[in-house]
Structure 1
Amino acid sequence: MNDPLRQLDQMVSVLVANDQNRTGESIRERIEQTRAIPIFEDVSDEQCEQLARELEERIGISMGFGAVVTSKDFKPWLEDAKANELFEPYYWDRYKKLLQDKRLPGDVITSTDEVTDRILGRMGNPRDEKAWDRKGMVVGHVQSGKTANYTGLVCKAADAGYRLIVVIAGIHNNLRNQTQARIDEGFIGRDTGRLEQRDTRDKPKIIGVGRYDARKAPVSLTTTLRDFNKATATTNTSQISSYAVPVVLVIKKNYRTLSNLIDWLKEHSAREGTEMVDQPMLLIDDEADNASINIQYGRNEISRINGQIRDLLGMFQRSCYVGYTATPFANIFIDPDTDEDVENEDLFPRHFIIGLDAPSNYFGARKVFIDGLPDEEAERPQYLRFIEDNGDLLPVKHKIDHPITELPESMKEALRAFLIARALRNARGQKAQHASMLVNASRFTGIQNTLKLRLYEILKVYENALRVNGSRSDAIAASPEIAELQETWKAEYSSVSTWDEVLANLLGAAASAQVIAVNSSSPGSLDYENAGDTGLTVIAVGGFSLSRGLTLEGLTVSYFLRNSMMYDTLMQMGRWFGYRTNYEDLCRIWMPEEAASWYAHIAEATDELLRELKRMEQTNATPEEFGLAVRSHPSALMVTARNKMGSGEKHLFVGLSNNFIETTKLGNDEGIRRRNREAQTRLFEGLRRIGKEQNSAEEVPGGYLLRHVPVELVDSFLREFDNVRESILTDTRPVREYIRKRSADELAEWELLVVTTSQSPEPVQEIDGWQIKPVRRRIGGSSLEENGLLAISDKKARLASRGVERAGLSDHQREKAEQDYRASSEGKAKSNFPDRIYREVRKRPLLILFNIRITDDGLTEKQAALLPTEPVVGWGISFPPSANADKKVEYILNTTKLQEMFGDPDDDEETEFEDD
């Protein structure tokens, strides 16, 4: 943005902010009025319209204040410090000006100010001279602005009196360097890389907040070029001895770095007395679920990095640990055997847990994997495209020496989509902005580098075709490559652009694109900072380095082909989440359908966790109570393997009150299928004996409903049903035990929904006297071939369709649930109702019976040959809230089997053969 346009933006933004009724028309009037000033005479009509659209989006963006769960011993101190003028917001005011200059919406800046006050106020008071330690956790969303939040917290902590601030920023150099650059810009105000390189006679390069006021610049013992080094730190001892200004370090989460820092602190403390350990210290642990938690097998063993963080904190009389994460399951799920373990775990956030709300323009998991999925099976998802052709070319599971002779057509299609999207962004005036494509298809560095070469070769083919034939009137006929590009445009972007608009900008997009590998063999290859006036166009190929923390600027197209079902690993691989101002409609994500279904499942679980945090805030619950609630949630099953419990059995206590469970994994063994059909037959026979059959059932959306079904029939069906052990939550032993304990009152009578739907293309079948149209579902081909499992992969890995839990509710119950949801802050912007709102008002449990036709969609010929020819029986249960909700169900798990099912976390950890 040129200077006159930036000035116009700033002036109009102030005027619009003061307008009570802001509309698109009023914004444009303000622009025209201000544009009359002579300095804006060179601002074009097109630039003014682009500015109007940006302001329309910006003023509509809001952000909530999140939720806070605090320990009982919390004593407020921040308001008193402000009232007594012991808190001068010097560093925060500089940072706030920076956020305003970056044109963040005013509501977002206000919310950030409020939330960082909440966090700071629950940390230790740095002016309290008595010994104290505080531990807390901040839960955000992947790529939602956690770094911006903790940069603001660092500024306020320094204003309050914290003198030593340590930021642990991931386990890779590129992430540490990126975080250091953010701290340089938002807190230090100087380019630390230039400070290290410059001659002592040169002036330091002032950046970011330093442009507003360069006094009181914090001392940094790390730079964008170098992690912590004992020798370098020792040369700065004289600078930090008085702590007249804050001292900050941004270090890698690495045992050598932590060991050096601890040794240096001990040595410095021994020489200089105890001044250093007496200073109040703040430790911010970014990506706190990664490497920080104790993952050793034994109850009293401590993993190396976890122990070092404890040692570092233990060196200070006054210290505060704040872990930031988007995937807190592993942090909270410490050890489910006893309640005491939560309290005794040293890094458990026992003093506070704070949930951050994402701004309303956040492009997150819900928007992509839940709201962006179609209701009708025939429609395509808005952003997702499914990879079905990787096969032998690039299997999800492959060895380190797997040959890459050719790329899957889907990867080429994704590349073409990226070039077109970049062309359209250029046409929209975004040429100065960065645009990135992510390719995360292997954890092996060698294969990543080979993929980089193959993508580069294909990119050059398209560039040459556009250079030679792009300007010809018969370009499509003259060049098969340009014809391919047009077909991709038709499939992806014809509704938002014309082909002429795309073609006019395609050569520039292709010529400027570069393919880079982001891994240990290509250090420093991703450099947005020194791109110049024209934004980078980058195709970034990598593995774990692209999977956690690293921000790809302007990420538009992603190609994701990885095999992990761990909650934290999957969500952190979601680099495509974030903010996509004026190009969200161009974003596309290629991944296997099975992976997409897991993301949908995780998005629901994460949303539920944050809702639980807000509920517990209202009831003044403590972090320990929240931790117990999370551990008893079914999602805890997914992080059991993360804790590496070792072989043998693990006992896990899960709450089924107000929960929904269903058989999303079914056995393909003919004996299992037959036994489950027989269980259904006997259930229907039992219903006939008590006068309940199809002609006495109500026709409701989704099937036939029977009321007042005795619990004995349900229990018999579950007893006879052959559940595969991979379907953990539907293990009938603990489920039946839960039902038995409530069978005399809460669960004595049931409602039964026999699913049949007019939308199913299946013909009506007579099944044990019932006229039923089986539902059609797709499955994951790899699970079928490798494990003999029918693992449902479509419909968000769900058997049930949306709205199924309405069955059996009265009109009054349903309308009341929907009205309450619409009145909530969550429901105002939503077009659909989540099933949980119906479950919360349910008085009787609902058993849902499915007859499922497994389709061969997306399967290979070999896999399709393994499919059953008859419908497969499955079930789901919607449990209403229980008066005994605190009574948990005990699941006994084989932890070795869990690791087989959900993947070993080591698959994504560093080895000498893998990316760094």
Structure 2
Amino acid sequence: MSEDLRQIKVIKVVQELVADDDAATSITPALLAEKVDAVLRMNPRWRDGLNVQAVLDELIRRFSVRLERDTSLHDDDDHENWLDGARQQGWKYWQRYREWLERSLPWDVVDGLDRSTNDILKRLEDPNRAGSWSRRGLVVGHVQSGKTGNFTGLINKAADANYKIIIVLSGLHNNLRSQTQLRLEEGFLGYQTDTRQDLPKPIGVGLIDSDSSIAPNCATTRADSGDFSKVVARRLAIAPEARPWLFVVKKNKTVLSDLLRWIQTRVADLPVDLGDGEAGDPRDLPLVRKRVTQLPLLIIDDEADNGSVDTKEQLFVDGKPDEEHSPTTINKLIRRILNSFTRSAYVGYTATPFANIFIHERGSTRQEGADLFPSAFIHSLSAPSNYVGPSRIFSGKGAVEGRAGLPVVRTVDDYCSDDGRGGWMPPRHDASHVPFIEEDGNLPKSLVEAIDSFLIACAIRNIRGQRAKHASMLVHVTRYTMVQNHLYTDIETHVRRTRQRLARGLADEATTRRLRTLWDADFVANERAFQGVIDGEECVLPSWESVLAELVVSIADIDVKMINGKAKDALDYVEGGAKGLRVIAVGGDKLARGLTLEGLTTSYFLRASKMYDTLMQMGRWFGYRPNYLDLTRIYTTHELVEWFGHIADAASELREEFDEMALTGAKPRQFGLKVQSHDVLLVTSQVKMHSARSLQISFSGRVVQTVSLASYATQRNWDAVARLVQAARTSPMDATAGNRIRPEPKSSITIWEGIGYAAITDFLVSFVTHPAAYRVNGPLLAEFVQLMASHGELTKWTVVIAGKGSGSTREVAPGVIVSPVTRNGEVAGDRFSIGTLLDPKDELYGMSEAQWDAAVVETSRRAKEKARKNGDAAPTTIVDAPSGPAARYVRGMGSPGVRPEPERGVIVIYAIEPVSPADELIPGFVLSFPDSGRGARVEYKMNNVMWETDYATA
């Protein structure tokens, strides 16, 4: 028995012992060490050659992981509840998949996956339910967070429940389809789908339960050419039987047409008359002539926002869809496959759901049936506490919350000339570009450093006992395969030369000196910053001498591969076996979406996009980094760091809104409307939004704050502040001002109550917001305030000039003295960019005592409801101040015994003293808008030239 297998067995038994130990009130390292010793006493043979400390470290890591409950919006119209404990008795597929997961995942995470897949499955229909039905759902995860594991669990349970045909739509490229097939072989099929073998080789769950009588059938194979095709269709015939059928296919016109034609000619049994297709329908696409009545269908659409969405706008007359509409080809084929079954369920999976939510909820045509809008449910997956996502790496939070991003990002600026038009890899180049630089073997110093960082990280991972684990480096700087060819050659040459120089020993002083300099300046300098970042991990570095000795050995295992549509290289991690792959992957679009780079440690990334979903999907470095998070590095541009920070905050806000809506029992359609009014303007491709030149935005219930400040307009903006102060001083005294309480009065603060909205709109129009501040546009905000005022809302404002409670003071307007606030940030050209400006307590000014008390109650209620949904105990901490969302809700919507005051907004002005030396203070503002039931929105317009120039994918 190998050491890895012994380690797996010991960990599994220890987890079972801990779970059964009712006397254990808390799980400590001492308790785990005691259980490990007990297991090894029971079976002394397992101790031979076993790294006991590695076992204990892994157990500590697993028991340190925490997982909250998922949330969901759902519509149960015409849905019958069916999934209960009795129905789940004897489920073999799920049980063996669970046992397979327990070998590598914490039990809490496996339990969470069990709950999550149950919650999703019960929103689908009972496959045994008679009659005709169809369900559409969407599962929203995080980039690289385990969506494949979730839908694999769902597939296992669906097969147990009696879904007979399971189709997995897995991206647009062969390598992603093949990778998904490999994952499902391990997690569902239990055998290799290799046509070269007479007898299938058991793998994954097949090693847990090798009963061939339950082995699912599969129509596709792991080979690059193993997709569904006419050849497969000619030899494939199925009939109702005990075992389910799996199809893992690309979103490709030919593949889906062959699959639909096979369903119509070989499987469907009930003739129907749906006409001859829609206007403009390609003649080579098969039509729905018959339906399948005996085999319930489940379609899993991985990366559901990519390729599946109908990008043509369907017209509606008197609320009814135009039946002559012709959808885009892939969308058409997916819907026709669904429409070929009387009983069907569709579940899309994505981390960037915007395109799916922009689908019209009533879209429908005769041949295709309903569009893919997730009308039945939208399910938001929670991420385990050890997940490393955008907010962990590119934190947009400022000094107020005392939180900063993980120190893994390294900004680069040597890839192009100062004007951005020349150099090694200018942002805008074409397929004929030849990357050239005279030094360092035709590579910029930043890329040489990134490669060196990967070499050092691989050596340390080997020393930490991860020699058999995969390790990858991503190089993604261009979409053009010809340019990638040049880059691949240069990188391969550099790695080969470095390998040869290290093989000579310490004689090559230049190479070892370069590596040692990076070790001291980066790894050693940042060692302390990672202490305590992830529970259960110490992040301690070995000595340089041991690293250098290991480098000489480990660099021999590193391969450079080109991953694009024309390359023959492939990332076959399964064939890597126990050794583990060490690979530098050079690519473009194939590396941008869906494809998982196992053990991704170092990234060199220059590709730019200002669309939320595209940029998020390009970020393959999100995910899990057990015991090597401190070794990961991301080399990218200043601009991309700023955009990812913006996206991190926007994603968090959107999930918070989703959770709030889930607490109120909202339905999927309502979330779609909420997303369309979100103030993140560039959420997805314009064609997917069917809104060619405008977006509708509402700010009700939101906080808007300046985080990208125009340093070139500082004096003009202080003049705008002075005019606002003058208007506030000359406004009539608000009759209710004496009844407004102060959360925590500061010595450096000035407040006026009941200021008319005209003074606010004048300020917003006069204050210069930076063009890069896409979420804070002064004229747009002023237009929204005027629109709400026309309806009697946002007519009275609390104006706050805020500062710190102590420190030196400055006069920022005539007679207004404040102590400036300090915010960490970065000066880039004509702007000063920060994280968060608002001190949360400052938006609470101007509340009446009754509102304050009601908002405290609402804050407590929301905390308890969230704990209940997570299965946690109710919070014991006494809430003594409202949260911002609760305060905005009570202000606008009221509460029992408290009258709503949607007419009252809050504006907070800050004098910001940058951390970096500056001669003058910079003004910034925060707007706190009360909730409103009016739903008024303002339009943001852009012309097509602006869209194509600034926001289309590079």
**Structure-1-length-normalised TM-score:** 0.84
Residue of structure 2 in register with 1:875 after alignment? 925
The separation in 2 between residues aligned to 1:62 and 1:452, in whole angstroms, is 41
- Please give the per-residue CA displacement for 1:503-561, whole angstroms capped at 9, x wherever unaligned: 23222232222221211122442111111322211111222211111111111222221
* Alignment counterpart, residue 64 of structure 2, candidates 51, 60, 64: 60
Give me the whole-angstrom Cα distance separating, in 2, the residues matched to 1:241 and 1:463. 57
Structure 1 residue 377, shift from structure 2 partner: 11
1:602 corresponds to: 647
| Match 2:637 to one of 581, 585, 592 | 592
User: 1:854-880 CA deviation, whole Å, 9 max, x = no partner?
Assistant: 9999xxxxxxxxxx9977765331213
1:457 aligns with 2:530: no
Question: Aligned match of 1:39 in 44, 48, 69?
Answer: 44
Distance in 2, matches of 1:637 and 1:542, equals 25
Partner of residue 723, structure 2: 682
Rounded to whole Å, the distance in 2 between the matches of 1:760 and 1:903 is 43
Hey, what does 2:259 align to over in structure 1? 261
In structure 1, what is the equivalent of residue 703 of structure 2? 660
Q: Which is further off, 142-151 or 587-596?
A: 587-596
Question: What secondary structure is seen at the aligned counterpart in 1 of 2:504?
Answer: helix
Q: Distance in 2 between matches of 1:506 and 1:142?
A: 31
- Farther-moved stretch of structure 1 (571-580 vs 56-65): 56-65
Work out the CA distance in 2 between the residues paired with 1:530 and 1:833. Answer: 55
Matches within 5 A, 1:884-903: 884-896=932-944, 899-900=947-948, 903=951
Partner SS, residue 751 of structure 1: strand
Deviation at 1:475, TM superposition (A): 6.1
Closer, same or farther: CA 397–754 of 1 in aligned 2, 3 Å: farther
Closer, same or farther: CA 432–247 of 1 in aligned 2, 3 Å: same
Residues 392, 405 of structure 2: 8 Å contact kept: no
Corresponding residue number in structure 1 for 2:751: 706
**Cα distance change, pair 503–872 in 1 and its aligned pair in 2 (3 A):** same
Amino acid of the residue matched to residue 615 of structure 1? E
Deviation at 1:379, TM superposition (A): 8.2
Find the counterpart in structure 1 of residue 432 from structure 2: 401
Establish whether residue 548 from structure 1 lines up as the match of residue 596 from structure 2: no
Of 53, 60, 67, which residue of structure 2 is paired with 1:49? 53
Structure 2 vs 1, CA of residues 125 and 898 (structure 1 numbering), >3 Å: closer, same or farther?
farther
Alpha-carbon distance between aligned partners in 1 of 2:771 and 2:127, rounded to the nearest angstrom:
52
Identify which range, 804-813 or 597-606, moves more after superposition: 804-813
Kindly indicate whether the alpha-carbon contact (under 8 Å) linking 1:513 and 1:538 is maintained by their aligned counterparts in 2: yes
Letter in 2 for 1:718: L
Q: Give how far 1:297 is off.
A: 5.0
Match of 1:847 among 887, 907, 925: 907
Letter in 2 for 1:138: V
Are 1:115 and 2:79 matched, yes or no?
no
Could you tell me how far apart the structure 2 residues matched to 1:520 and 1:829 are?
56
- Using the alignment, how far apart are the partners of 2:767 and 2:396 within structure 1? 34
Report the Cα distance in structure 2 between the residues aligned to 1:698 and 1:137, rounded to whole angstroms.
Answer: 42
Match of 2:608 in 1: 563
Partner Cα distance (1:355, 1:748) in 2: 37
- Unaligned segments of structure 2, at least 5 residues: 272-289, 316-324, 418-423, 438-442, 530-539, 734-741, 892-900
426-435 or 295-304: which moved more? 295-304
Task: Say if 2:124 is the partner of 1:146.
Answer: no
* Alignment partners' CA distance in 2, 1:386 and 1:376: 24
Amino acid in structure 2 at the alignment position of 1:419: L
How big is each residue's C-alpha offset from its partner over 1:448-468, in whole Å with a ceiling of 9 and x where there is no partner?
Answer: 232223323333343334332
Residue 901 of structure 1: how far off its partner (Å): 7.0
Q: CA-atom RMSD, angstroms? A: 4.1
Identity of aligned residues (%): 33
Could you tell me which amino acid in structure 2 is paired with residue 214 of structure 1? S
Which residue identity does 2:701 align to in structure 1? N
Query: Could you tell me how far 1:144 is from its partner in structure 2?
Result: 1.2
Q: How does 1:592-631 map to 2 (within 5 A)?
A: 592-631=637-676
Would the alpha carbon gap of residues 56 and 271 (structure 1) be closer, same or farther in structure 2, given more than 3 Å must change?
Answer: closer
Residues 2-42 of structure 1: CA distance to partner in whole angstroms, max 9, x if unpaired? 34333322322221222333211011111122223463364
My pick for the range that moved more, 771-780 or 658-667, is 771-780
Letter in 2 for 1:287: E
Aligned partner of 1:291 among 293, 307, 323: 307
Mapping for residues 799-878 of structure 1, pairs under 5 Å: 805=843, 825=867, 844-849=904-909, 874-878=924-928
Match of residue 410 from structure 1:
446
Among residues 14, 23, 27, which one is paired with 2:32 in the alignment?
27
The residue type paired with residue 197 of structure 1 is: R
Mapped to 2, the partners of 1:810 and 1:515 lie a distance apart of 65
**Partner in structure 2 of residue 248 of structure 1:** 246
Letter in 1 for 2:253: Y
Residues 130-154 of structure 1 deviation map (CA, whole Å, 9 limit, x = unaligned): 1111111111111111111111111
Within 2, Cα distance between the matches of 1:700 and 1:852?
Answer: 19
Aligned residues: 860
Q: Is the 8 A contact 1:62 1:360 kept in 2?
A: yes
Matches within 5 A, 1:708-747: 708=753, 710-711=755-756, 712-721=758-767, 727=774, 729-733=776-780, 735-738=782-785, 741-742=788-789, 747=794
2:201 is aligned, of 193, 198, 205, to 205
Tell me the equivalent position of 1:7.
Answer: 9
- Secondary structure of the residue that 1:634 maps to in structure 2? coil
Q: For residue 524 of structure 2, what is the amino acid of its counterpart?
A: K
Equivalent residue, structure 2, for 1:315: 340
Q: For residue 364 of structure 1, what is the aligned residue in structure 2? A: 389
Q: Which amino acid aligns with 1:60?
A: S
Q: Which amino acid aligns with 1:679?
A: A
Residue 746 of structure 1 deviates from its aligned partner by 5.8
**Which deviates more, 659-668 or 622-631?**
659-668
Q: Give the Cα separation in 2 of the matches to 1:69 and 1:653.
A: 23
Identify if the C-alpha distance between structure 1 residues 391 and 307 changes in structure 2 by more than 3 Å, giving closer, same or farther: same
**Residue 325 of structure 1: which of 313, 331, 350 is its match?**
350
Cα distance per residue 1:769-795 (max 9 Å; x no partner) = 6567597886786xx6xxxxx565x43
Structure 2: how far apart are the matches of 1:412 and 1:565? 27
1:366-381 matches, within 5 Å, as 366-370=391-395, 381=406
Which range moves more in the overlay, 508-517 or 804-813?
Answer: 804-813
Q: Which moved more, 1:673-682 or 1:356-365?
A: 673-682
1:505 aligns with one of 539, 547, 550:
550
2:105 match: secondary structure? coil
Corresponding position of 2:232: 233
Question: Which residue pairs with 1:787 in the alignment?
Answer: none
Amino acid at match of 1:680: V
CA deviations over 1:730-776 (Å, ceiling 9, x no partner): 35356444356358976344333446669999x96766565675978
- Displacement of 1:822: 7.4
Counterpart amino acid of residue 222 in structure 1: T
- The letter of the residue matching 1:31 is V
Q: How many Å separate the matches in 2 of 1:513 and 1:431?
A: 12
TM-score (norm 2): 0.80
Amino acid at match of 1:218: P
Superposed CA deviations along residues 268-303 of structure 1, whole A, max 9, x for unmatched, are: 257998684542111111100111112225644522
1:641-674, Cα deviation, whole Å (9 max, x unpaired): 2526475x43x43332221223456678x8x777
Query: Which deviations, in whole Å up to 9, do the C-alpha atoms of 1:567-590 show, x marking residues without a partner?
Result: 111111121111111222222222
Distance apart, 1:340 and its partner CA: 5.9
SS of 2:379's equivalent? Answer: strand
Mapped to 2, the partners of 1:116 and 1:702 lie a distance apart of: 54
Q: Name the structure 2 match of 1:348.
A: 373
Quote the residue 1:175 is aligned against.
176
Q: What's the CA shift for 1:720?
A: 3.8
1:663 touches 1:730 (CA, 8 Å); kept in 2?
A: no
- 2:536 alignment counterpart: none
Does residue 77 of structure 2 align to residue 73 of structure 1? yes
Q: How has the CA–CA distance of structure 1 residues 48 and 159 changed in structure 2, closer, same or farther, with 3 Å as cutoff?
A: same
Q: CA deviation at 1:382?
A: 2.4
Cα deviation, residue 181, structure 1: 0.7
Specify whether residues 554 and 709 from structure 1 end up closer, same or farther in structure 2 by C-alpha distance, changes over 3 A only. same
Q: Deviations over 1:54-81 (max 9, x none)?
A: 111212323333122221415334336x
Q: Which residue of 2 aligns with 1:490?
A: 524
Shift of residue 677 of structure 1? 5.2
